[in-house]
Chains A and B, each alone.
Chain A
Amino acid sequence: MSGNGNGIQRSDFAAIAEWVRPGSRVLDLGCGDGTLLKYLKSKRNVSGYGVEIDDENILACVKNGVNVIQSDLERGLSEFEDRSFDYVILSQTLQAMKNSERIIKDMLRVGREGIVTFPNFGYWKNRLHIAAGYMPVSDNLPYQWFDTPNVHLCTIADFERFCRERRIRVVERKVLTNGKAVGLLPNLLGALAIYHFGNGAAK
């Protein structure tokens, strides 16, 4: 499983960095070229590892000075001990996982808390594409229907229901459009959702 958006300025990185406590241990699933981990190392002095499947990304991680384990996320996280990380991050990869539910569970087994980012399918521009009769293609969803790796797209409302039903506690949420925070009508006006969650029922 390879993270989307290599080399692109990723607006979710700064948002994630704000949540991550300095000096914590981080596991970045589908870490791509290691940019996020490198960023968190420099901004938050974190330690940890990335998980990647793609050869070129493994090489890029080594060049970026980031620890990386070549592995297929679809196989699960059996290499990693329970509660061995402060945060497990899944950045713009959830929608491309075959088994999205299992990875979320595994994230909360291996980490104390999880951070997940995904393109909000409920964003008005996506709705407009659908209303016009076509699958959405945008900066956050840059693929055509026939070549997309995104098999499990969801909306903000979908994800929150998913968390509620599984007693996953949402700690914080940020919704961004073009890198700017969205307050009003997030499921309609937000392009990118970022969730910070943990075990246990919502407060």
Chain B
Amino acid sequence: MDGSTTTQTVGIVTPRIAKFTEPVALKCGAVIDEYELVYEAYGTLNRERSNAVLVCHALNASHHAAGVYADDPTDVGWWDNMIGPGKPVDTNRFFVIGVNNLGGCHGSTGPKSINPRTGKPWGGQFPVVTVEDWVATQARLADHLGIRQFAAVMGGSLGAMQALTWTIKYPERLRHALVIACTPSLSAQNIAFNEVARQAIITDPDFHGGDYYAHGTTPKRGLRVARMVGHITYLSDDEMASKFGRQLKYGKLAYSFDTEFEIESYLRYQGNKFAEYFDANTYLRITKVLDYFDPAFEHGGDLVRALAPAKASFLVISFTTDWRFSPERSREIVTALLDNRCDVTYAEIEAPHGHDAFLLDDVRYHRLVTAYFDRIGAETAADAGTGILHHGSKAAA
């Protein structure tokens, strides 16, 4: 990354809560009367309110995208290598917002929360949410913060699906979308992995139909397996081979079912860690959010038509070894954007790390995002004081 000597962290951050009392009608038909979203913000919103960037999180992350907490300096934000002073998303320049999505388990209203209608945790009764529902509630958060239009909405993986959905549902409300390690829809194989994860949780005897809070249990065994399955799909075969190979934990075969290979040890560690803090009901719903994502579905499978409302400029990035959401899937998005004559730049980053690459500090990847945000920053600065609100511009016919 350019100028890495000057990069710093955003430092100590404090989550904030936004309370919404206007009911939200979800895609599944359910209505949530009132809800809270927990969010963090870094940097300063300029006078024109034109420098806001929304960072959307993926499967297991949260609003805590950058910085650390005063009471836990080891709890570093999940995209801290991307966001901060002098970093690709430079908080000296941009006002960056991270939000925990509806149905999450990091402070926003979700299955763990009390359902005001019953006075008990929602549990299994919490509705199945969608990317569209998340984006609708994020838009309300933007209203709450007085942000009419984002300079950019960005995310990787499931976060990228939210950025893409913003361009369809609220085309006037963002100037740029960064769509990283995305896919226009999950493949049968993707859904299959998610279903294994769900079955692991649902068949755990501690699950109790999702109402495990009342039973004083948590379906940790299921959650552990779910996370292990997920983790396999985040890494590339090569990455696993180079990181673990067939290395044995204790140097020799034990002819038992204890952990023997390093990869087993790694997956168990990841599974255990995850099961300690993540809510199983949230995990179930997020896998459904992924499965349902398919903007082309409502347009007879035509992604070009689905993306027709988009007015933003796009940076689409994929990673060569990502077999979960492969570069070919990103190219489908790019082709549809080209057919809609949208401004789009597409980069295919050669990285060995598989799907997880979007979270890692790869020089080429970060330099590209830095350059793209420089461009956004230059536009934002050029418009400062003019009172102009961009509405994006499609490449003229």
A interface, CB within 8 angstroms of B: 23, 25, 47-49, 55, 58-59, 61-63, 65, 67-71, 79-81, 84
Q: Shortest Cβ distance from A64 into chain B, in angstroms?
A: 9
Interface residues of B in 358-376 (CB under 8 A from A): 364, 367-368, 371-372, 374-375
User: In the complex, given contacts A25-B341, A69-B334, what are 18 additional A-B residue pairs having Cβ atoms less than 8 angstroms apart?
Assistant: A25-B396, A47-B341, A47-B395, A49-B338, A58-B368, A59-B368, A59-B371, A62-B315, A62-B372, A63-B374, A67-B345, A67-B395, A69-B338, A69-B345, A69-B346, A70-B347, A81-B339, A84-B339
- Pair A63/B371 contact, Cβ less than 8 Å: yes
Interchain Cβ contacts under 8 Å between A and B, 19 examples: A25-B396, A47-B396, A48-B395, A49-B338, A55-B364, A59-B364, A62-B372, A62-B375, A67-B345, A68-B345, A69-B334, A70-B347, A70-B348, A79-B331, A79-B334, A80-B338, A81-B338, A81-B339, A84-B339
**Cβ of B186 under 8 Å from chain A:** no
Specify which chain B residues have a CB less than 8 angstroms from the CB of A55 in the assembled complex.
Answer: 347, 349-350, 364
Bound complex: CA A47 to CA B375 (Å): 17
B318 to A, closest residue via Cβ: A70
Specify which chain A residues have a CB less than 8 angstroms from the CB of B344 in the assembled complex.
Answer: 49, 67, 69
- Pair A79/B338 contact, Cβ less than 8 Å: yes
**Cβ of B262 under 8 Å from chain A:** no
Which among A25, A63, A69 has the highest number of chain B CB atoms within 10 Å?
A69
How many residues on the B side are at the interface (Cβ–Cβ under 8 A)?
Answer: 25
Interface residues as binary, B87-129 with A (CB distance below 8 Å gives 1, 0 otherwise): 0000000000000000000000000000000000000000000
A78 to B, closest residue via Cβ: B335
Specify which chain B residues have a CB less than 8 angstroms from the CB of A25 in the assembled complex.
Answer: 341, 395-397
**Cβ of B343 under 8 Å from chain A:** yes
Specify which chain B residues have a CB less than 8 angstroms from the CB of A71 in the assembled complex.
Answer: 346
Residue in B341, B346, B372 whose beta carbon sits within 8 Å of that of A70 in the complex: B346
Q: Shortest Cβ distance from B151 into chain A, in angstroms?
A: 15
Bound complex: CA A98 to CA B346 (Å): 23
Specify which chain A residues have a CB less than 8 angstroms from the CB of B367 in the assembled complex.
Answer: 59
Bound complex: CA A70 to CA B348 (Å): 6
Interface residues as binary, B298-323 with A (CB distance below 8 Å gives 1, 0 otherwise): 00000000000000000100000000
Q: Shortest Cβ distance from B2 into chain A, in angstroms?
A: 10
B327 to A, closest residue via Cβ: A70
A56 to B, closest residue via Cβ: B364
Which among A49, A58, A61, A70 has the highest number of chain B CB atoms within 10 Å?
A70
- Pair A61/B345 contact, Cβ less than 8 Å: yes
Specify which chain A residues have a CB less than 8 angstroms from the CB of B350 in the assembled complex.
Answer: 55
Which among B338, B345, B395 has the highest number of chain A CB atoms within 10 Å?
B345
Q: Shortest Cβ distance from B179 into chain A, in angstroms?
A: 14
- Pair B347/A84 contact, Cβ less than 8 Å: no
Specify which chain A residues have a CB less than 8 angstroms from the CB of B364 in the assembled complex.
Answer: 55, 59
Interface residues as binary, B43-87 with A (CB distance below 8 Å gives 1, 0 otherwise): 000000000000000000000000000000000000000000000
Specify which chain A residues have a CB less than 8 angstroms from the CB of B374 in the assembled complex.
Answer: 63
- Pair B345/A62 contact, Cβ less than 8 Å: yes
Specify which chain A residues have a CB less than 8 angstroms from the CB of B315 in the assembled complex.
Answer: 62
Specify which chain B residues have a CB less than 8 angstroms from the CB of A49 in the assembled complex.
Answer: 338, 344
Interface residues as binary, B382-397 with A (CB distance below 8 Å gives 1, 0 otherwise): 0000000000000111
Bound complex: CA A59 to CA B375 (Å): 12
* 7 A-B pairs with least C-beta separation: A47-B395, A62-B371, A69-B346, A70-B348, A79-B335, A70-B347, A63-B371
Which among A23, A79, A81 has the highest number of chain B CB atoms within 10 Å?
A79
A48 to B, closest residue via Cβ: B395
Known: A25-B397, A47-B395. A67 touches B348 (CB 8 A): no
Specify which chain B residues have a CB less than 8 angstroms from the CB of A23 in the assembled complex.
Answer: 396
Residue in A47, A62, A70, A84 whose beta carbon sits within 8 Å of that of B338 in the complex: A84
Q: Shortest Cβ distance from A48 into chain B, in angstroms?
A: 7
Bound complex: CA A67 to CA B343 (Å): 6
Specify which chain B residues have a CB less than 8 angstroms from the CB of A80 in the assembled complex.
Answer: 338
B373 to A, closest residue via Cβ: A62
Specify which chain A residues have a CB less than 8 angstroms from the CB of B349 in the assembled complex.
Answer: 55
Bound complex: CA A43 to CA B364 (Å): 31
Specify which chain B residues have a CB less than 8 angstroms from the CB of A79 in the assembled complex.
Answer: 331, 334-335, 338
Bound complex: CA A59 to CA B315 (Å): 12
Specify which chain B residues have a CB less than 8 angstroms from the CB of A65 in the assembled complex.
Answer: 375
Bound complex: CA A102 to CA B374 (Å): 38
Bound complex: CA A192 to CA B371 (Å): 34
Specify which chain B residues have a CB less than 8 angstroms from the CB of A67 in the assembled complex.
Answer: 343-345, 395
Bound complex: CA A191 to CA B39 (Å): 62
B396 to A, closest residue via Cβ: A47
Specify which chain A residues have a CB less than 8 angstroms from the CB of B334 in the assembled complex.
Answer: 69, 79
Q: Shortest Cβ distance from B83 into chain A, in angstroms?
A: 19
Q: Shortest Cβ distance from B325 into chain A, in angstroms?
A: 16
B315 to A, closest residue via Cβ: A62
Specify which chain B residues have a CB less than 8 angstroms from the CB of A58 in the assembled complex.
Answer: 345, 347, 368
Specify which chain B residues have a CB less than 8 angstroms from the CB of A59 in the assembled complex.
Answer: 364, 367-368, 371
Q: Shortest Cβ distance from A53 into chain B, in angstroms?
A: 9
Bound complex: CA A58 to CA B96 (Å): 26
Specify which chain B residues have a CB less than 8 angstroms from the CB of A47 in the assembled complex.
Answer: 341, 395-396
Q: Shortest Cβ distance from B381 into chain A, in angstroms?
A: 14
Q: Shortest Cβ distance from A29 into chain B, in angstroms?
A: 14
Bound complex: CA A79 to CA B343 (Å): 14
